[in-house]
Amino acid sequence: MVQHIPEADDIELMRRAAAGEARAFHALVDRHAQRLFRLAISMVGNAADAEDVLQETFIGAFRGLRSFEARSSVRTWLSRILATQAARWHRDRRRSRAQPMDESIPMPAGGPDSPPDAGMDVHAAMLRLSPEHRQVLALREFERMSYDEIAEVLGVPRGTVESRLHRARSEMREKLKAYLP
């Protein structure tokens, strides 16, 4: 299943995939799946839903192959589709009201405002952030994206990225203060 097309960059793969070469698109999937999966987990909170969001992301990318104009990198373009799919996932979840978001996230024994205990990992602390703060923190810390790239992915002004990132870090510092200097 893994399709290795060496020495072809993302743009070249996109061009070939748009021309109908299925192998090129599968190569793009292999190249970006792990990175996007981690991003998806940081956005939706669990592996099963992250896998669904990831699938929808690549299907969306496949359908939009011809609309890609290479104004941004493929990495940014895919991340933007993922962010859109994750936002849709949050919206559907809110609409169905089957289970509030925070109920699926492991919480420390002391409640949401208590400091993390020894059993709580950083990932769980991050999942206690709001989706907006979690997104911006994941794109910055995991993806190492610039503020402008994050703004493009999320479709918000750069100033919003800065303020969300600042708040996300403040909240994380509060939640992880037992571990931080």
Partner 1 sequence: MATCPFSEHLEAFYDGELDESRRSEVVSHLPQCPSCTEELGRLQAMSRMLLSGSSPRLSQIGLYRLHNRVDQAMEAGVLRIVRVLSAIAACVLVAGSAWLIRAREDRAVENTMPVAPPWADVVEASDSPSGAYSTPAAAWYLADDSARSDDSP
Enumerate binding residues for partner 1 (CB under 8 A).
1-2, 22, 25-26, 29-30, 33-34, 37-38, 41, 47, 50-51, 54-55, 58-59, 62-63, 121-123, 126, 137, 140-142, 146-147, 162, 165-166, 169, 172-173, 176, 179-181
Helix 74-96 and helix 131-141, axial crossing angle in degrees, nearest 10: 160
Residue 78's contacts (CB-CB under 8 Å, 6 or more residues apart) are 32, 36, 57, 61
Minimum distance from residue 56 beta carbon to partner 1 (Å) = 9
Q: If you search the block for the tokens 């072809």, which residue do you land on? A: 8
Minimum distance from residue 129 beta carbon to partner 1 (Å) = 12
Token pair for 20: 């109908």
Nearest to 109 by CA among 98, 94, 120: 120
Minimum distance from residue 89 beta carbon to partner 1 (Å) = 16
User: Residue 48: how many CA atoms within 13 Å on its side-chain side?
Assistant: 1
Minimum distance from residue 34 beta carbon to partner 1 (Å) = 6
- The residue among 94 and 117 lying less far from partner 1, judged by its C-beta, is 117
Token pair for 110: 């002391």
- The residue among 117 and 121 lying less far from partner 1, judged by its C-beta, is 121
